[in-house]
Copies of this chain bind each other. A is one copy, B any other.
Amino acid sequence: MSRKEAKRAKEPKGAIKERKLKVLNSLQEFGAKIYGQIASGDFPSVKMPSRSINNIFYDQKLRQYILGNKSVRRSSRNIRHIRPLTQLVWTGMFVDELTRQSKTSTLRDVFYSAQAYEMSFTDQQESDNLITDLETVIGYSREDFNVFPEERSAIFGDLTVEYTLPGYEGRRLNLTSHPDGMMIGPALTSAEFISCKADKVIAIEKGGLFTRFIEENVHKRHKALLIHTAGQAPRATRGFLRRLNQELELPVYIFTDGDPWGMHIAMVIISGSANAAHLRDLNTPDAKWFGVYATDIVEYKLPSDKLTELDIKRLYELKRDPRYEGKLWNREIETFIKIKKKAEQEAFSRYGLTYIVDEYLPTKLEMASSE
């Protein structure tokens, strides 16, 4: 039995269903606490970690941002708290319904749905904040309680999944079935992994290149699951990448444009964002960025554009960012600043359309595995 099979065998059956139960328990606990306070004659109140900037710290061990010890309390004893507390309790009730009925919604939907309950939000900003509060209180991300983003990314590769979505339970599909790729949405992120012939994941920023990789059989030649992040990976996709890495022990490589924004797409997959400091399980600390590096622009003589002032400002911000400690990041940030150039993934096409797959990719994979 290979290491990977052993790992899979150890994974509890129905990990997804178990997680859903945990989320529902968490929501129930939150509700029970409120009921308990009322029953014992106390003003209902909620205590949660503060998400203010002075309570966000970078944790070197977890390799992500976390919240510190400061907390805030919302109490119905305080007249200014009654509105947000009521909204928070309603939000908990609403997403509990969603999750129990396995219905998904969006942040926008939550805002409008409130009106069905005569719960008033001034604007969507207010209801979005309440969803984040709820995440903080129950410790799960909104995708766990079925509030999904608009954006979708896609996947292609030799992974067989079994859906748990009502109406599709028990149905299995191999993710090479549709060569344009499958959308990563509620059905896939709630599916169990059945078998996987791939031994790595390659996440790709651009759609054109994702298609190129499929056409050139990268999934077969390099036994890779291919993921199209479509720019910054949506949180559901970041969580899914983590599952592929943790449950299936697949190394994750990230391939972006060669500029500070591409670099940061990789970083958010690796170390998460400060905005999600109240959450766990969304980042993949062992994922590796493998290009386009600033040093690749020099080495491969790539067609490039001049960095804009905004690009350069961004690079100096990244220099001060604790996530960007380490030799690779330092070297690349410094090189970008020195050469003042950026290059897109498609720039390799100057050596022919398949150069990127035939030459660049194998070199990078070899470098990554020999580290």
A105-B208, A148-B208 known; A178-B188 Cβ under 8 A: yes
Residue contact B181 to A109, C-beta cutoff 8 Å: no
A35-43, A84-92, A194-202, A349-357 - interface stretch: A349-357
Question: Cβ of B180 and Cβ of A187 under 8 Å apart?
Answer: yes
- Interface of A, secondary structure class, is mixed
8 contacts between A and B (CB under 8 A): A102-B215, A103-B354, A105-B349, A109-B346, A109-B353, A113-B352, A178-B188, A186-B211
Given A215-B103, A303-B112, A353-B109, answer yes or no on A183-B181 (Cβ-Cβ < 8 Å): yes
The answer on a CB contact under 8 Å between B186 and A352 is no
* A109→B349 CA distance, assembly (Å): 6
Contact A152 B207 (CB under 8 A): yes
- Select from chain B the residue with minimum beta-carbon distance to A188: B180
In whole Å, how far is A150's beta carbon from the nearest beta carbon of chain B? 5
Chain A 139-161: CB-based contact to B (< 8 A → 1; otherwise 0): 00000000010111010000000
Interface residues on A, range: 35 or more
Q: Are B116 and A208 in contact (CB under 8 A)?
A: no
The 6 A-B residue pairs whose C-beta atoms are closest, nearest first, are A180-B185, A106-B208, A112-B349, A179-B187, A115-B350, A180-B183
Q: Mark A164-191, 1 if CB is under 8 A from B, else 0.
A: 0101100001000111111111111000
User: Is A279 at the interface (CB under 8 A from chain B)?
Assistant: no
**CB < 8 Å: which of B108, B188, B211, B347 contacts A185?**
B211
A179-B165 contact given A108-B344, A109-B353, A350-B113, CB 8 Å threshold: yes
Task: Tell me if B187 and A116 are in contact (CB < 8 A).
Answer: no
How distant is the Cα of A152 from the Cα of B346 in the complex, in angstroms? 18
Q: Which residue of B lies closest to A344 (CB)?
A: B108
Cα A186 to Cα B213 with chains together (Å): 13
Least distance between A8 CB and chain B CB atoms (Å): 22
Q: A163 in the interface, Cβ–Cβ < 8 Å?
A: yes
**Complex: A217 Cα to B166 Cα, angstroms:** 11
Whether A346 lies near B106 (C-beta < 8 A) is: yes
Measured in the bound complex, the distance between the Cα atoms of B186 and A180 in whole Å is: 7
Which of B115, B178, B181, B348 lies in contact with A177, CB distance below 8 A? B178
The answer to the question of A104 belonging to the interface, with a C-beta cut-off of 8 Å to chain B, is yes
**In the complex, are the beta carbons of B173 and A178 less than 8 A apart?**
yes
Whether A103 and B353, one on each chain, are in contact in the complex, defined by CB atoms closer than 8 angstroms, is: yes
